[in-house]
Structures are given as C-alpha cells and as structure tokens.
Amino acid sequence: MTRFPNVTVDAKANIYFDGRVVSHTVHFPDGSKKTLGLIYPGTYHFGTAAAERMEIIAGSCTIVLDGTTESRGIAANQAFEVPAHSGFSITVDAGICEYICSFLGE
C-alpha cells in the first residue's frame, strides 16, 4: 500500500466525464503534487500541460498516447509516462481502475 506522510489533500474532488473519472489532489511539503483517482468503465481523453507519470494501482486499462496508434495494456503495479503538452486516451473495459498521477518536473 502506498502512503504519503505529511501531505495536504484537497477535499473537493476533481470530477470529469459526468463523474466517470474522479480524483483528489495531494500537496507535498516540497510544493509538488499528485492526484489519486478512480476511472470507471469507458474511454476518455486527457490533455497534459506538464509531463505525467500514471501509475495504475488497481484494475487495468488500455492507453494510446497522442501522436501514436499503439494501444498498450497497463495492469495494476505498472505505469506509463505522458509528455508535456500532449495527451492520451485511456479505456477501462470493466471494473474500476485506480491510479496515482505524478506531475514530472515539479
């Protein structure tokens, strides 16, 4: 189990796609942040400002990075990175996919 000591969490959820993707932002003492969230079945597209590392902690998904056609399956305990000023499509076929998103370079 991943734990983050000495952090502040935004109680207000970030809600996307009519509640099909929900996350909370975690702020660290060094000024960096992560989001922790749930993705319900469906296909969604996200744009990125900063580079991101998406770590799947439960469930599974399939992703396609912007600018590519390669579909990659990502299972629990695996991760993928997305460049800054880019994006990705993510598909969850069944169940709930849980993730930790780290913003790289912060």
Give pLDDT tens digits for 76-96.
999 999 999 999 999 999 999
Prediction pTM value: 0.92
The predicted model gives 67-76 an average pLDDT of: 96
Q: Return the structure tokens found at 99.
A: 């993730």
Show the domain range for 48.
9-103
Q: Residue 94: inside a domain, yes or no? A: yes
Q: Residue 4: inside a domain, yes or no? A: no
Q: What is the CATH number of the domain that holds 51?
A: 2.60.120.10
The predicted model gives 8-32 an average pLDDT of: 96
User: Which has more confidence, 105 or 60?
Assistant: 60
E strand map for the chain: 8-9, 14-16, 21-27, 33-39, 42-47, 52-58, 60-65, 72-75, 78-82, 87-92, 97-103
Provide the domain count of the chain: 1
Residue-level pLDDT at 18 = 97
Q: Residue 16: inside a domain, yes or no? A: yes
